[in-house]
Amino acid sequence: TVTEWEIREIHLGSLHAGPLTIHQIDGGHGGHPVVGLDVLGVGSWQLDPGSGSLTTDLPTISGSEFVSATNGHLLTEMRWSNAVASALWDTGAGITLIDRHFARTHPHLFKPTGSTRATDITGAHSDVELAYAQDYEIEGVSFAGHIVAITDLPEVPEHIDAAIGFPTIVQARWTVDLPSRRWRIEL
């Protein structure tokens, strides 16, 4: 069950957004709130998983320009020496997802490790394959390989081969300025 709430404004540090429609998804205890691009997209911020902080009100950064999906999400690439995956950066993903077709096309990059029962943000359950992904780069920054989920990714909003989730995001400090379409990744 999804309940919609209309709120006049929301403040997250120096980020101010509104009016907004927010959604409460019934799913029992253990649910995690998700702050979306409707709030994060109004300014610059830095996500530092190492210190457990989100800093707002940053000056315009001088990092790389990023591409936005039609829904505003950040698009980038995961690069191996012999393959490139189009990827969506998704701070709400608990695991990095790799599209089944991409994994089958590049089996040398993924070592199967079994499967698990997964739950999405709506509470729906499904079985997914797990694999260990080899080290890769994003924007020239090296990331250590880790367990990924192999699944069928939707073609919405654009075709993507991967959704970059928490096991990748936790490895770096991410400074993002959505209005100027720039970001910087630091280890």
Q: What is the per-residue pLDDT across 133-182, written as a single tens digit (0 to 9) for each?
A: 999 999 999 999 999 999 998 876 688 999 999 999 999 999 998 888 89
Neighbours of 110 (CB within 10 A): 20
Neighbours of 150 (CB within 10 A): 21
Of 22-26, 106-110, 146-150, 162-166, the least confident: 22-26
In terms of Cα–Cα distance, which of 102, 67, 74, 68 is closest to 88? 74
pLDDT category at 99 given cuts 50, 70, 90 is very high
> pTM, whole model, 2 decimals?
0.83
CA distance 33 to 10: 14
Tell me the two tokens of residue 89.
């950066």
3-state secondary structure the chain: CEEEEEECCEEECCEEECCEEEEEECCCCCCCCCCCHHHHCCCEEEEECCCCEEEECCCCCCCEECEECCCCCEEEEEEECCEEEEEEECCCCCCCEEEHHHHHHCHHHEEEEEEEEEECCCCCEEEEEEEEECCEEECCEEECCEEEEEECCCCCCCCCCEEECHHHHCCCEEEEECCCCEEEEEC
Beta bridge partners, 112, equal 131
Contact 148, 98 (CB under 8 A): yes
Tell me, what's the pLDDT at 112? 97
For residue 130, pLDDT beyond 90? yes
For residue 85, pLDDT beyond 90? yes
